[in-house]
């Protein structure tokens, strides 16, 4: 007899720390391994995946186990499911992207809901504002970047506009594009592996 048990869906709110106004995304994901969740978070936020990342959950650190690319002090994220590290009453953890720039994200499990048969997961259902550019120097560098591109008298105005490709809209947010990319992510190799040389 086929199982009638309905899949659980985690509704997550991901918010970048130390940024005002806030940059955030709301995702619906099935129970999945942390390496897949890392990809979903990076895609939804707008990160390219070329830097180290890690989850900090209940005093443990989970991340990439590849000896040439990862940090050997982290637990291998590819073997750990979200449901195995989330405990009742404790619904928040940290996702850190790019240890050099220090893009820390608060990840809040807002609720657990039944899956809808007609819906594809993962899916982003809401969000606000553009992802900062990579390699800009973290939250503090991002603030300086925005000041410079919005002030034509700033000594770095032209340099940074050229570096970013001519313009940058911090309010931009394209839900359809994010969901197209999330749809492609399920069967692809993890983002970080695209940056590993053969």
Domains of the chain are 9-129+173-195 (3.10.290.30), 132-170 (no CATH)
Q: Are 188 and 36 in contact (CB under 8 A)?
A: no
Token pair of 111, please? 């609720």
Q: In the predicted model, is pLDDT for residue 144 greater than 70?
A: yes
Residue whose C-alpha is closest to residue 128's, from 50, 16, 28: 16
Give the long-range contacts of residues 192-196, CB within 8 A, separation 24 or more.
192/49, 192/50, 192/52, 192/53, 192/64, 192/66, 192/69, 194/49, 194/50, 195/49, 195/50, 195/69, 196/66, 196/68, 196/69
Do β-strands 75-76 and 60-63 pair in parallel, antiparallel, or remain unpaired? parallel
DSSP letter at 130? Answer: P
Q: What phi and psi, each to the nearest 5 degrees, are found at residue 149? A: -75, -20
Instruction: Outline where DSSP puts E strands in the chain.
Output: 8-16, 24-30, 53-57, 60-63, 75-76, 92-97, 103-114, 123-128
Residue 110 is predicted with a pLDDT of 96
For 40-77, what is each residue's pLDDT tens digit? Answer: 999 999 999 888 899 999 889 999 877 776 667 789 99
First to last CA, the chain: 46
For 75-131, what is each residue's pLDDT tens digit? Answer: 999 989 999 998 777 789 999 999 889 999 999 999 999 999 888 999 999 999 999
Mean pLDDT of 138-150: 94
Q: In the predicted model, is pLDDT for residue 198 greater than 50?
A: no
Q: In the predicted model, is pLDDT for residue 162 greater than 90?
A: yes
126 vs 185, more confident: 126
């Amino acid at each position: 007899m086929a199982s009638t048990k309905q899949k659980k869906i985690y509704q997550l709110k991901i918010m970048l720390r130390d940024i005002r106004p806030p940059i955030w995304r709301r995702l619906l994901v099935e129970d999945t391994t942390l390496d897949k969740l890392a990809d979903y978070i990076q895609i939804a936020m707008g990160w390219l995946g070329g830097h180290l990342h890690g989850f900090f959950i209940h005093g443990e650190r989970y991340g990439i186990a590849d000896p040439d690319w990862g940090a050997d002090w982290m637990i291998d994220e590819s073997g750990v499911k979200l449901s195995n590290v989330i405990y009742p009453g404790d619904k928040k953890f940290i996702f850190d992207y790019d240890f050099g720039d220090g893009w820390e994200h608060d990840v809040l499990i807002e609720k657990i809901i039944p899956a809808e048969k007609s819906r594809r997961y993962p899916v982003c259902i809401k969000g606000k504002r553009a992802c900062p550019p990579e390699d800009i120097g973290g939250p503090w560098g991002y603030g300086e970047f925005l000041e410079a591109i919005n002030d034509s008298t700033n000594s770095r105005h032209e340099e940074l506009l050229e570096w970013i490709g001519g313009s940058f809209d911090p309010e931009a947010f394209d839900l359809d594009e994010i969901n197209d990319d999330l749809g492609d992510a399920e069967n692809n190799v993890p983002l970080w592996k695209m940056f590993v040389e053969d």
